[in-house]
Amino acid sequence: MGIVIALIVLIYLASSIRILRQYERGVAFLLGKFEGVRGPGMTLIFTPFQTMQRVSLRTVTMEIPSQKIITKDNVSIDIAAVAYYHVSDPEKAVIAIENVYEAINQISQTTVRKVVGRFSLDQLLAQTIDVNEQIKNVIDQHTEPWGAQVTAVEIKDIILPDNMQRAMAKEAEAERERRAKIVAAEGEFQAAMRLGEAADIIATHPVALQLRTLQTMAEIATEKNSTIFFPAQFMTTVHEAIATLKSDSEKT
């Protein structure tokens, strides 16, 4: 009889053994009352007097489903996001809320809709980091009493209506054309300034024009043309240069 009782006790003790992993905590209850939070390793739970619920402390990746949102400037868009959270207080996560994952999922959807509605489409596209931070802070305020902490919220997809995509494409094309025209006008302006400076130099040094003419003739010659026209002004200047050289040689 004693052996049977001892065997029953051993079986009962063996069935009372619980193993908690490093990332797990056990919220223990004694006769329905909160007893404490068990750490990782081996622990004993004497049923039916004691019960224990496991809680994971690892970061949870939660998809926030795509939903239609109207921005501040009355543009209808579809937004999908992702949130990251982890349980910071196992006691609250078990006692204060029935299903912490479902609660965070629902509050995340309503928060995304509420926060995004405060921004215009241009602000939403340009200030995504600020929008993500605001969404995270609002969600975190709701989840703190539940023993969960939201570490990040990221908007991962923004779907625009087809007509809005076409309008934005036209706007971008018009902007590129505007920049191209400005660059071309700036180039013409700089070229005109350089030509004006060159004209001033040529005006003070007439021979420079002839040198430029010779250079042009040399470029024409590379094209294997059979006929080259010499401007009359060039020939006059050549005669003047020859006369000047003669007078200089006579003086010496």
DSSP string, 54-109: EEE-S-EEEEEEEEEEE-TTS-EEEEEEEEEEEES-HHHHHHT-S-HHHHHHHHHH
Range of lowest pLDDT (37-46, 187-196, 227-236): 227-236
Task: Encode 44-63 in three state secondary structure.
Answer: ECCCCCEEEEEEECCCEEEE
Distances (CA, A) of 71 to 68, 123, 128, 190: 10, 10, 14, 45
Residue-wise pLDDT tens digits, 94-141: 998 888 999 999 999 999 988 888 888 888 888 888 889 999 999 989
Query: Which residues, other chains included, contact 125 with Cβ-Cβ below 8 Å and sequence gap of 6+?
Result: 158
Distance CA 181, CA 184 (A): 5
Domain 60-160 has CATH 3.30.479.30: yes
Does the N-terminal peptide bond of residue 48 adopt cis geometry, omega within 30 degrees of 0?
Answer: yes
Q: Residues 169-183: what's their mean pLDDT?
A: 80
**235 confidence band (pLDDT: 50, 70, 90):** low
Q: Please list, in sequence order, all residues whose beta carbon lies within 8 angstroms of the beta carbon of residue 93, skipping any fewer than 6 positions away.
A: 55, 87, 100, 146, 147, 148
Domain edges within the chain: 2-56, 60-160, 169-251
Query: Regarding predicted confidence, which is higher, 9 or 149?
Result: 149
pLDDT at residue 149 tops 70? yes
Q: Is the pLDDT confidence value at 80 over 60?
A: yes
| Encoded amino acid at 80, one letter | A
Residues 115 and 113: their CA atoms lie apart, in Å, by 6
236 pLDDT more than 80: no
State the pLDDT confidence band at 173, using cuts at 50, 70 and 90.
confident
Average pLDDT over residues 2-29: 85
* Tokens linked to 240: 């003047």
State residue 148's pLDDT score. Answer: 92
Neighbours of 187 (CB within 10 A): 10
Given a contact cutoff of 8 angstroms between Cβ atoms, the answer to whether 55 and 90 are in contact is yes
Q: What is the pTM of this model?
A: 0.63
Burial grade of 195 (CB within 10 A; 0-12, 13-18, 19 or more): exposed
User: CB–CB of 69/112 below 8 Å?
Assistant: yes
Is the sign of the CA dihedral 165, 166, 167, 171 positive or negative? positive
